[in-house]
Structure 1
């Protein structure tokens, strides 16, 4: 086997060894064999998810629980541990999350590979997702991310499959619909049609089968300003100058409730509207150009970055989505998302520090907590700006400068003709 073949054989071996070692450590934390610093992140699975499981398996959505704010297909993720009845609910959920994590790795490594595509996307997922700590296996977001990665890697060749997977992902957790932000031209129309059909079919099926399937459409209407969000930084600082509000567990997350919290929530929604307007403007310009093969993945990462960073809520598990999308972008040699992806990786490292390690400092608005939030949200903002700039430059190139006309020689002959004349002595 030649040198290239040997490198290829060693590459996946080292990759799977690193993935296996890092995931073993994560499992030990999730299963309680090792203790991760800070609050226990697994209670969402063992308490909240398990409670929803008991309600869902009797044929209804948890209508009396304000923390249920998910599209109807999320029930599939919550009910999935029933497929492993020989394990306890929390252990079965961790096992399924591990399988979803492995699916992402295999998709990045084999699902979209082509000539010249590097391994860096798979390595980015292996390292970047591990930086989030046990949160990776304590939420169902890694399962949604697996669907999104499959959609983006198959999308350039099979737009209808892209649309179907994006639509199904939207029925799991809404945000995968943003995968279609870069779907352009005839193929884009096929992808959007498939997505709409999938969403309509899934929503109708769940609505007919289980009451409360569409309650998620209004479930987040009264959400406030979550303590880890961009807007929350204003209140964190204001608390040191006598802000009189409270920190409460509200709608399933820790939020600020009190003076100006509503104003900040409205400001976040306005920023999301501005981000939407920019994406529409980019789409209108890009559809008249010829974007590269990486545009679909680049646009997806940019769109999710913009909506995540401007949201009223930035939960730690949102970084799982961004790491997965960044890994897909790095699989394409022509991607403009290298810097944004690495900024996301840096934000993931800071995220595990602000939650769960120093989450008490964040809730108390201590200087350390504020510093971590400024750094993490600053990295996300930088990722937004660089991603938007790169996407715009890639899909809306600047017009080429005109080529200057050749200068004429004093006697009216071109320089080439004069040189030829001198050489022949004529």
Structure 2
């Protein structure tokens, strides 16, 4: 009899092992395909070398400057917080490889860490392996772009922070702070932390870890705040919501032009500054909306911190002056964390994010020349991609808001007398 009782648990363990083996095989196959695409980056449909150039030319140039103990203070392309320095210097840890090879190898290693962390979280009781599967199969939707940007490293800080919060709010807070020193957005993952002791612990350790790391970086490199001046000068990128509006305006006679500046293609001309200010105002409004949600929220589930993180980053993405293709990596990582919980409200949002990734790679790198030229095809691509992101942001926040409201007393379901155990009296 005991053998029969142990059969379900044995079958469950075997099923989990099979799923993990399938995920491992899928990761290896998809990453091999991404590497092949990166090796053939010069083909017209893969960007004519523009994707890989970011690493071997721009990142390597910054690596040379950083190696001499200073941030590139007078480089208008340098717009990243001080924490980006260790990431860009990290290929030196692999002396047998070129800078490009070392960067890609370490990016793949961090990608594997994310997949492993999601898989480990998914095997815990009450959790799901959907998150690991979503990351494994979702990242290749962006073709080879993720391997030639350092956004996987940034996303790792956010993913590990969220997964650590439940067991160690201190570690979760510290990881979020370190991630925000690389790129600012990981600080948003702490917005949905449970109230009370958990919030105090996570936010306190985030402040302490962030301050300590910032002091170390300021003492190691000269000009640590040089990025702020360059970031403030950025305009409206062609792939942003404001850029899409301006691209459509060119067909109505608007005289603006597209120009390469601050590391991306941006619009110049009349009213561009006004569009940029509207974007900044919308970002401020999004932050106020998120704070309002936190103040009004009355019910937390284990998935609430995950759902709030995805919703927050989505809102800041759609209101940004810059929506680069690599921003999609952030959203894939956060959606994957949400899917590790069976209580998440963000499953349909994850579908929209994946769809937006598919459209995004058609726009960049495949047909980027049409987007840059503001052709009707380019405008339609951006309308569809940004429309999917807007729908995801609205749906994400709406579902987050509903999930955090307490159930009204009259909405509690009445027990069905037919399903009551024998001998139990009906409420009536």
Per-residue deviation, 1:14: 1.0
Deviation at 1:215, TM superposition (A): 2.0
Bigger CA drift: 131-140 or 28-37?
28-37
Q: C-alpha separation between the residues in 1 aligned to 2:322 and 2:282?
A: 13
User: Displacement, 1:397?
Assistant: 3.1
**Which residue of the partner structure matches residue 15 of structure 1?**
23
Query: Quick one: which of 72, 95, 107 aligns to 1:62?
Result: 72
SS in 2 for 1:65: coil
Per-residue CA distance 1:263-288 (angstroms, 9 max, x = gap): 111111111111111101001012xx
2:253 equivalent to 1:242: yes
CA contact (8 A) 1:203 1:214 kept: no
Residue 79 of structure 1: aligned partner: 89
Deviation at 1:34, TM superposition (A): 8.0
Cα shift at 1:217: 2.8
1:260 aligns with 2:259: no
Shift of 1:121: 0.5
Contact 1:109 1:122 in 2 (8 A): yes
- Residues of 1 paired with 2:343 and 2:268: CA distance? 45
- SS across alignment from 1:336: coil
**Pairwise CA distance, 1:112:** 5.9
Residues 55 and 242 from structure 1, CA distance in 2 versus in 1: closer, same or farther, beyond 3 angstroms?
same
Tell me, yes or no, if the aligned pair for 1:112 and 1:154 is still in contact at 8 Å: no
CA distance in 2, matches of 1:384, 1:402: 28
**How many pairs does the alignment contain?**
406
Q: Provide the rounded CA distance (Å) in 2 between the counterparts of 1:228 and 1:275.
A: 20
Question: CA separation of 1:404/1:158 partners in 2, compared to 1, >3 Å: closer, same or farther?
Answer: closer
1:49 and 2:85 are equivalent in the alignment: no
Name the CA distance, whole Å, in 1 between partners of 2:99 and 2:413: 72
Q: Which residue of structure 2 lines up, in the alignment, with residue 138 of structure 1?
A: 148
| 1:185 pairs with one of 196, 202, 214 | 196
Q: Is the 8 A contact 2:87 2:150 kept in 1?
A: yes
Q: CA deviation at 1:5?
A: 2.4
Could you tell me how far apart the structure 2 residues matched to 1:200 and 1:293 are? 29
* Correspondence for 2:158: 148
The residue aligned with 1:115 is 125
| Residue 89 (structure 1) aligns with | 99
- Tell me if structure 2 keeps the 8 A contact 1:292–1:334: yes
Indicate if the aligned counterparts of 2:72 and 2:226 stay in contact, CA closer than 8 A: no
Shift of 1:402: 7.3
Q: Which 4+ runs in 1 deviate beyond 3 A? A: 32-36, 402-405
Matching residue of 1:221: 232
The aligned counterpart of 1:376 is: 385
Where structure 2 has 5 or more consecutive residues not aligned to the other structure, the ranges are 1-6, 415-424
Residue among 156, 160, 171 paired with 1:161: 171
Question: Quick check: 318-327 or 186-195, which moved more?
Answer: 186-195
Alignment partner of 1:197 is 2:208: yes
Deviation at 1:146, TM superposition (A): 1.2
- Contact 1:295/1:335 (<8 A) preserved: yes
Match of 1:424 in 2: none
Q: Over residues 40-86 of structure 1, what are the superposed CA-to-partner deviations in whole Å (9 max), with x where a residue is unaligned?
A: 20100010000000000111111121111111110111001101111
Secondary structure of 2:266's aligned partner: strand
Secondary structure at the aligned position of 2:384 is classed as helix
TM-score in terms of structure 2 length: 0.91
Q: Which structure has the larger Rg over C-alpha atoms?
A: 1
Q: Equivalent residue for 1:291? A: 300
Partner residue of 2:186 out of 172, 176, 190: 176
CA deviation map 1:287-330 (0-9, x unaligned): xx231000011100000000011100000001001000000000
Q: Which residue of 2 aligns with 1:422?
A: none
How far does the alpha carbon of each residue in 1:323-359 deviate from its partner, in whole angstroms, 9 at most, with x for none?
Answer: 0000000000000010111111110111111000010
Which secondary structure state, in structure 1, belongs to the residue aligned with residue 351 of structure 2?
helix
Deviation at 1:254, TM superposition (A): 0.6
With structure 1 as the length reference, what TM-score do the two structures score?
A: 0.92
1:176 and 1:194 map into 2 onto residues whose CA distance is 14
SS of 1:248's equivalent in the other structure is strand
Q: Secondary structure at the match of 2:81?
A: coil
Give the distance between the partners of 2:48 and 2:286, measured in 1 at CA: 34
Q: Identify unmatched segments of 5+ residues in structure 1.
A: 406-415, 420-426
Question: Cα gap change, 1:136/1:403 in structure 2, threshold over 3 Å: closer, same or farther?
Answer: closer
